Structure 1
């Protein structure tokens, strides 16, 4: 348990850095007259990097261990962030966003391995909740940090580098925490779609909506006449609403069918989005409406996850968790580019017109699918705090209280057999001497020299 604060601390600063970077890049490009399409495409590249990063993370962790993977991935992300200040070439920036996504997914995998290793069976739910909370808080703090740099120069990039560098410290100096090696996860989306079609459909739309918000809402707010401080409030109000809505929605989901709540959320998001599209945007109205947007948009993922978990057996929950994350990420990657193109052709307010239309399609599809399925049997343990963005990896399933700990470990971790190469790679961290073998060799040389004297 002693390691939890440092791990939460590392996650908090990583999310502060990436959250700040996402908003900064959107505003910086908009300020320099870059088309909204390219802004959306950059966000899509980031999400594509996150989707591809789980395979890279598995191979890195298997080859060099967790600590080296985290150090290398964070160093790569830092280099990519710094490279934004070297060149304004949009094609380079697209590649950089892809690499940042790859590196961050590797980091999420390492952090979640550590948290899982340290969590006692009875505290897994609490650990998972706090992990999600630090992600939300990191997003909020990243937005407010940007408010201090209204000129949108290169200073925010330095701040991102500082946050990422601070985030690497707790993991890099640890000596005694040894997450187990990972097993590759095989996810058959087609098989799961036959079992939980409502959940995967809802999560895909949630990814489109949430990815579009994170990638394009700063551009919407800027085009509506907001300054940097007001944009920070606009973004933070939405994210904060998503955070505080988790627990009330969890209580509701124990009393009302999740399939009904998901469709209700879709209607609510559609109404709020239509208001943001049609009504004259004033500062107060925009803040109130975007707060309401966050209440419903950021609870779609956990509701869909709870619905999926109520329809599958225990041994299938790890796979379902991974499938939901993949489909959510794919939706986020698709939504940013598609809605950016809509904004390019029809203006900045068309973002919310597009989201309103998406909720109509979502509602109709879910109603049709629901008519073909049996009513779910919800349990009070099916709802847990969920993400509003891709800020965790498939390994988060090892901390999910809905999944039996032994089942999660059997399917995702190498529990009984740890290969010799892995032990060898990590042996330096097993020593009781906190100074390590290198320092001991140096100390031995000094003692020999003293004897000669």
Structure 2
């Protein structure tokens, strides 16, 4: 493992610094805007457009990297993110902030794509699992450190934004100075939505709800913490504990997911989300240490829901279609992350703070009702099901290109680019039809004339020869 870390140290360090800036900004934004009495609707909207930028940028970033190269695309994107952050110091209208956050999300995902495609292109199949795990650790560590760094800023002025801009600019250094060869970029896989929606509709629902939970958490959990009279440092710890618990839970939950029914595990996860959210509806006074416990438990549940849903989806998709599967899962997850903060923000703004966890409980209840064993027919199980549970970083803090590091995916043999024909009959019927057509064609051909060899005299035969 140490060799793997040293080999990609520049890319790992860039990931760490990049996620520090993102983690700090998301927490700071919620705490800062709440302190100046900005509506939760605006806070939810800002986090929603950021994730919308991530989704759009994931599809457009390939063109940029292919046209100018990895380093130039990364450098330009880092500059755009830095400018957007610093502009928020000079510009106060919220509608302008919406535009800036969308641009920052679209630019930041290009940075993630550059790093992830670089790691994939220079990693063989034997090391893919190790490289993916290390990448996940650095991603999650950066997010936690970014949130905890808010504790070094006792005043809610613009100093944290300056630190975010410094981290964004500093992430340029290891990439610009790396000695590694620049890799080619995979052409983005087209999304055959009909194929995947028919194969894994329940997985799509799981990923949509997971995105709603995660997006609402990053945007409004700091707001909830401040509204229940936690200090800025305590609000940062409230969020960081949840992310850290989610990272640490990946491996034990993965061990369990590879040994029990995944549908039941998803329903158990949802039931626990529902049960844990009820005490936080506002009718109980929970001390600070109790809120930290609840936050850690929610982190275990919400940050393992995406890899559980992804593993369930991979169980029901052919191995050579999993790159396209990852693309549509990422888009569904991102759309959930866009709608979650908006819905939770509306509830908190017009009702009360406790409605944040009413929204969380409603998401858990929706999963319980939608994901039921009776709906799982097993008609589309893949040949390698059940696939391995793969610990994943928060996919909202990375890009769809991260699937290239997934040990379950073979980029070389993937045929996601090929068209999907859902209405074709089974292979045996098609082969039998071809054989019958060949037989019918031979039957219709006229018989060749048969010469009467005996009637040919030797003299005529010699003349013919």
TM-score by length of 2: 0.85
Within-5 A mapping of 1:205-220: 205-220=209-224
Q: Is the 8 A contact 2:58 2:109 kept in 1?
A: yes
Matched, 1:406 2:412: yes
Q: Which moved further from structure 2: 379-388 or 11-20?
A: 379-388
Please give the alpha-carbon distance, in whole angstroms, between the structure 1 residues aligned to 2:155 and 2:21.
Answer: 18
Pairwise CA distance, 1:374? 5.2
The structure 2 residue matched to 1:363, chosen from 361, 368, 375, is 368
Q: Which residue of 1 aligns with 2:77?
A: 73
Within-5 A mapping of 1:271-286: 271-277=275-281, 278-286=283-291
The structure 2 residue matched to 1:52, chosen from 52, 56, 72, is 56
Please give the alpha-carbon distance, in whole angstroms, between the structure 2 residues aligned to 1:241 and 1:409.
Answer: 37
Q: Which residue of 1 aligns with 2:315?
A: 310
Please give the alpha-carbon distance, in whole angstroms, between the structure 1 residues aligned to 2:296 and 2:286.
Answer: 14
Please give the alpha-carbon distance, in whole angstroms, between the structure 2 residues aligned to 1:23 and 1:239.
Answer: 12
Please give the alpha-carbon distance, in whole angstroms, between the structure 1 residues aligned to 2:319 and 2:362.
Answer: 36
Q: Which residue of 2 aligns with 1:450?
A: none
Q: Which moved further from structure 2: 377-386 or 32-41?
A: 377-386
TM-score by length of 1: 0.87
Q: Which residue of 1 aligns with 2:32?
A: 28
Pairwise CA distance, 1:369? 6.7
Q: Which residue of 2 aligns with 1:431?
A: none
Please give the alpha-carbon distance, in whole angstroms, between the structure 2 residues aligned to 1:126 and 1:409.
Answer: 25
Q: Which residue of 2 aligns with 1:437?
A: none
* SS, match of residue 372 in structure 2: helix
Over 3 Å counting, the alpha-carbon distance change for 1:11 and 1:144 in structure 2 is same
Matched, 1:160 2:153: no
Over 3 Å counting, the alpha-carbon distance change for 1:340 and 1:373 in structure 2 is farther
Over 3 Å counting, the alpha-carbon distance change for 1:410 and 1:123 in structure 2 is farther
* SS, match of residue 20 in structure 1: helix
* SS, match of residue 152 in structure 2: coil
Q: Which residue of 1 aligns with 2:355?
A: 350
Pairwise CA distance, 1:304? 0.7
Q: Which moved further from structure 2: 279-288 or 65-74?
A: 279-288
Pairwise CA distance, 1:130? 1.2
Deviation string, structure 1 residues 156-186 (Cα, Å, up to 9, x no partner): 0111111112211111123442211331321
Please give the alpha-carbon distance, in whole angstroms, between the structure 1 residues aligned to 2:64 and 2:397.
Answer: 19
Q: Which residue of 2 aligns with 1:397?
A: 403
Q: Which residue of 2 aligns with 1:387?
A: 393
Please give the alpha-carbon distance, in whole angstroms, between the structure 2 residues aligned to 1:163 and 1:95.
Answer: 21
Q: Which residue of 2 aligns with 1:325?
A: 330
Q: Which residue of 2 aligns with 1:11?
A: 15
Pairwise CA distance, 1:191? 2.1
Over 3 Å counting, the alpha-carbon distance change for 1:10 and 1:32 in structure 2 is same
* SS, match of residue 412 in structure 2: helix
Q: Is the 8 A contact 1:299 1:388 kept in 2?
A: no
Q: Which residue of 2 aligns with 1:429?
A: none
Over 3 Å counting, the alpha-carbon distance change for 1:388 and 1:206 in structure 2 is same
The structure 2 residue matched to 1:104, chosen from 83, 102, 108, is 108
The structure 1 segments of at least 4 consecutive aligned residues displaced by more than 3 Å after TM superposition are: 371-381, 408-412
Q: Which residue of 2 aligns with 1:419?
A: none
Pairwise CA distance, 1:271? 0.9
Q: Which residue of 2 aligns with 1:421?
A: none
Q: Is the 8 A contact 1:205 1:358 kept in 2?
A: yes
Q: Which residue of 2 aligns with 1:196?
A: 200
Q: Which moved further from structure 2: 7-16 or 268-277?
A: 268-277
Over 3 Å counting, the alpha-carbon distance change for 1:104 and 1:78 in structure 2 is same
Matched, 1:138 2:130: no
Please give the alpha-carbon distance, in whole angstroms, between the structure 2 residues aligned to 1:38 and 1:405.
Answer: 41
How many residue pairs get aligned? The number is: 412
Please give the alpha-carbon distance, in whole angstroms, between the structure 2 residues aligned to 1:33 and 1:240.
Answer: 29
Deviation string, structure 1 residues 401-452 (Cα, Å, up to 9, x no partner): 001242359969xxxxxxxxxxxxxxxxxxxxxxxxxxxxxxxxxxxxxxxx
Q: Which residue of 1 aligns with 2:460?
A: none
Q: Is the 8 A contact 1:57 1:109 kept in 2?
A: yes
Q: Which residue of 1 aligns with 2:428?
A: none
Please give the alpha-carbon distance, in whole angstroms, between the structure 2 residues aligned to 1:332 and 1:190.
Answer: 22
5+ residue gaps, structure 1: 413-453
Q: Is the 8 A contact 2:320 2:415 kept in 1?
A: no
Q: Which residue of 1 aligns with 2:274?
A: 270
The structure 2 residue matched to 1:340, chosen from 319, 340, 345, is 345
Q: Which residue of 2 aligns with 1:178?
A: 182
5+ residue gaps, structure 2: 419-465
Pairwise CA distance, 1:386? 1.6
Pairwise CA distance, 1:319? 0.9
Q: Is the 8 A contact 2:21 2:146 kept in 1?
A: yes
Pairwise CA distance, 1:372? 4.9
Q: Which moved further from structure 2: 299-308 or 360-369?
A: 360-369
* SS, match of residue 187 in structure 2: coil
Q: Which residue of 2 aligns with 1:291?
A: 296
Q: Is the 8 A contact 1:339 1:351 kept in 2?
A: yes
Within-5 A mapping of 1:243-254: 243-254=247-258
Please give the alpha-carbon distance, in whole angstroms, between the structure 2 residues aligned to 1:372 and 1:345.
Answer: 42
Please give the alpha-carbon distance, in whole angstroms, between the structure 2 residues aligned to 1:111 and 1:28.
Answer: 31
Q: Is the 8 A contact 1:245 1:295 kept in 2?
A: yes
Please give the alpha-carbon distance, in whole angstroms, between the structure 1 residues aligned to 2:165 and 2:314.
Answer: 38
